Amino acid sequence: MYLLELGGEDDAFAAREAASACSAVERLAPGLATARGVTDRVRGLAYTHAASDLVGTAEGGVAAAVALLEAASLDREGTVAVRARDVQATAGVSTSAAERDLGSVLVERGFAVDLDDPDHELRALFADDTVALGWLAVESVRDFGDRKPTDKPFFQPGSMDPLLARAVANIAGARPGRVVLDPMCGTGGGLVEAGLVGADVLGNDAQYKMVHGARENLARYLDGGVAGLPAPGGYDVVRGDATRLPLRDGAADCVVFDAPYGRQSKIANRSLDALVADALAEARRVADRGVLVGDRAWDDAARAAGWSVPDRYVRPVHGTLDRHVIVLRG
C-alpha cells in the first residue's frame, strides 16, 4: 500500500486526479489518501505532492506515531531523515517533536541520521486524529510557477492556471502514447500541460490569433520539456470550427476544453448553448473520454451529446466565478 499526500483544498478532486496515476485510491484523512499501486506518472500530478510506501496508520499524536514505528518491520538500511507535517493544520501536533522522537526510534534500530542527503526519508503525516507513516517513494515535479499565464509568450485574460490545467489533462487521460485534443484551445495552456506529461497534443481554434499564440506557447514549453517528466509529445494547432473538426472518427484518445464563459455570449452568430452542445457532440465523435471546464454545469448538454458524466467538481476562482470541471466518458 502507498500513502498519498494530497494538495489543494478539495480532497475529492485531488484524489480523482491521483487515480490517473495510482490504483484503488481511497481518501484516508484531510489531505491524505491511500493507493494500492502507484506509477511514475505521480511525478506529473498537480494535486498530489508525494507517494510513500505505507508503514502504517494509527489514531493519536506523536506518541501514537512512535508506537507505530516501534512495532513496524523495517526492511531497509542506510541513512534516514524524518519529515513531519501537520496536514492542513488539522492535528495541532509539534512536528519538531515528532521528527526528534521518531528519529530516536530509528537510531535505536540501527539507522544513521542524514538530514541533507538521506538514503531514505520517513514521512510522518498528522491529519485530524490520524497519523500515517511512510517511506518516500516518489514526489511530483513542482514546476508550475515557471508557467504563470501572464509570463507565457502569448497571454489572454481568463487563461487557466497551469496547476488546474495539469489536473484536468491528467483526469482526461493524458500520458505518453495518447493523443489529446483541445477543440477550443485558446492560448494552449491545457495542451502545454498534457504535452509535458508525454501526450501528443492537437489544438483547434476558430481565431487565427489564438492558433498562432497557442503554437508559440507550445513551442516555448514542449520543445524543452521539464526535468523529471516524460519527454514531451508532439504538437500541432489548426484553425477550424469546434463543431466540424477536420478529423476522422476516433482520431483522439481524449479531449480537454474550456468552454467560452458568459451565459449571454454569442459566437459567430450562434448562441453559446448551441455552440457548446455541438462541440460536445463533435468531441464525442473523435474521442471517448475527456474533461470539459466551464463557468456552469454543462452536464445536460454533455449527456445529450452522448457522453456520460461520472464526476463533476466545482473550483472557485473568485467571488463571482466558479469553474465547473465535468468528467466525460463515452
What residue ranges define each of the domains in the chain, with the CATH number in brackets? 2-139 (3.30.2130.30), 144-329 (3.40.50.150)
Q: Per-residue confidence of the chain (330 residues) as pLDDT tens digits?
A: 999 999 999 999 999 999 999 999 999 999 999 999 999 999 999 999 999 999 999 999 999 999 999 999 998 999 999 999 999 999 999 999 999 999 999 999 999 999 999 999 999 999 999 999 999 999 999 999 999 999 999 999 888 999 999 999 999 999 999 999 999 999 999 999 999 999 999 999 999 999 999 999 999 999 999 999 999 999 999 999 999 999 999 999 999 999 988 754 545 557 889 999 999 999 999 999 999 999 999 999 999 999 999 999 999 888 788 999 999 999
Residue 265 to residues 259, 274, 296, 303: CA-CA distances in angstroms? Answer: 11, 11, 13, 22
Task: Please give the model's pTM, rounded to 2 decimal places.
Answer: 0.95
Give the strands of the sheet with 235-239, arranged side by side: 235-239, 200-205, 179-182, 254-258, 289-294, 321-329, 308-318
> Is residue 146 packed enough to be buried (19+ CB in 10 Å), middle (13-18) or exposed (0-12)?
exposed
Query: What does the DSSP 8-state code read for residue 220?
Result: H
